[in-house]
Amino acid sequence: MLSNRHIMTMDDLIADEVTLILDTAESLAEVNQRRIKKVPTLRGRTIVNLFFEPSTRTRTSFEIAAKRLSADGINFTASASATAKGETLRDTARTLAAMSCDLVVVRHKYAGAPQMLAEVMDCSVINGGDGIHQHPTQALLDLYTMRQSLGRLEGLRVGIVGDVCHSRVAGSLVPALRMMGATPVIIGPPTLMPARPDVLGAEVCYDLDEALPTLDVAYLLRVQFERAARMPFPSNREYAMLYGMNADRLAAMPSHAIVMHPGPMNRGVEISADVADSPRSVILGQVESGVAVRMAAMYLLLGGAESGAAA
């Protein structure tokens, strides 16, 4: 089991626990290949998906994961603006707490929302993405995909390319890679770099072409124009010219190297269509891993062992 009852940031986990989650996900992945894709592991447990931001893939992934473990999953979609009409996050949390759920998955526009829920509610909390802070299950499924594709995590050199400063994916993936002995390199224009990349433990590179031959993974991020105060580069055309992954750049990477993206993709901006659809792209594999990894996280947090084996 896990030493912490929440997965809010990568700090809630240690390397052995990450490995345990990935191993557990590997055994649970088999369930997803069955004709009847369901095990009774979390029967009678209540899992609430509390989404304050629009999300399709993450919410669906958590929802499917809960259903395949036989948990009762409830979707709760709300507006993030506490200043508009409606109740505060704290009151929403108190309301849900009164209904006794076992696990809350929260996605919120602002950093720290999972911590606020955990203060108020007596249940486990999984952070499904908070502001520009962290998104730990995304990092876990990315590790799973890398391990599956490349056979290991230790020693990998992973280039995280693009809008790093607004990316909660990078916020979790950088420390996760460090924890597992890989080297994260964040690549992009200085306008999209975090204030202190050293705090996260990442190498910084402004020149994608210089980095490509050394990378085992090119992990492309979507540019989040909606979060930027002002346009961080002159045009999409110039961004694609400097940082867009295309066939020529793919060819500059080692032959074993893979391309990843957390989705949704902007084809033609950070990734060209031919690369997105190439055999070197494991983007759909990431989505597939997501279900198994989230099943593992839920199972391990809720101590599913009390109702029997994992699968």
Partner 1 sequence: MDPAAGVDGVLDVLVEDGVIAGVGEDLEVPGAEVVDCAEKVLLPGLADIHVHLREPGQEYKETIASGTRAAAHGGFTAVACMPNTSPVCDRGSTVRFVIERAEETGVVRVYPIGAVTAGQAGEQLAEIGDMVAEGAVAFSDDGHGIQSAGMTRVAMDYLKRFDVPLIAHCEDESLAAGGVVNEGAVSTRMGLPGIPAEAEETMVARDIALAELTGCRLHLAHLSTADSLELVRRAKARGVAVTCEVTPHHLFLDEDSLVTYDTNLKMNPPLRTPADREAMVEGLLDGTVDCVATDHAPHAVHEKELEFELAPNGTTGLETALSLVNTHLVATGKLDWVGVCRVMCHNPRAVANLPEMRLEAGFPADITVVDPEARVDVTPGWFVSRSRNSAFSGASLLGRASDVLVGGSWVVRKGKVVV
Residue type, 13: L
By CB under 8 A, the count of residues binding partner 1 is: 26
Closer CB to partner 1, 136 or 244, in the complex: 136
Closer CB to partner 1, 10 or 156, in the complex: 10
Query: Residues near 169 by Cβ (< 8 Å), separated by ≥ 6?
Result: 135, 138, 139, 142, 221, 262
DSSP secondary structure code for residue 139 in this structure:
H
181-194: b (≥16 Cβ within 10 Å) or e: ebbbbbbbeeebbb
Closer CB to partner 1, 195 or 309, in the complex: 195
Map residue 273 onto helix, strand or coil.
helix
User: How does DSSP assign 173-233, residue by residue?
Assistant: HHHHHHHTT-EEEEES-GGGS-S-HHHHT-EEES-HHHHGGG-SEEEE----GGG-SS-SS
Closer CB to partner 1, 33 or 83, in the complex: 83
In the shown chain, the binding pattern of residues 1 to 40 toward partner 1, with x for contact by CB under 8 A and - for none, equals: ----------------------------------------
Contacts with partner 1 in 68-107 (CB under 8 A)?
82-83, 88-90
Residue type, 130: D
Q: Among the candidate windows 40-48, 141-149, 196-204, 275-283, which touches partner 1 by CB under 8 A?
A: 196-204
The tokens for 234 are 């002159």
294 binds partner 1 (CB under 8 A): no
Among 168, 249, 261, 294, binds partner 1 (CB under 8 A): 168
Closer CB to partner 1, 205 or 292, in the complex: 205
In the shown chain, the binding pattern of residues 232 to 251 toward partner 1, with x for contact by CB under 8 A and - for none, equals: --------------------
In the shown chain, the binding pattern of residues 115 to 154 toward partner 1, with x for contact by CB under 8 A and - for none, equals: xx-------------xxxxx--------------------
The tokens for 282 are 């494991």
Question: Alpha-carbon torsion 106, 112, 118, 121, what sign?
Answer: negative
Among 229, 234, 251, 279, binds partner 1 (CB under 8 A): 229
The tokens for 105 are 């998955």
Where on the chain is the footprint of partner 1 (CB under 8 A)?
A: 82-83, 88-90, 108, 110-113, 115-116, 130-134, 168, 171, 194-197, 199-200, 229
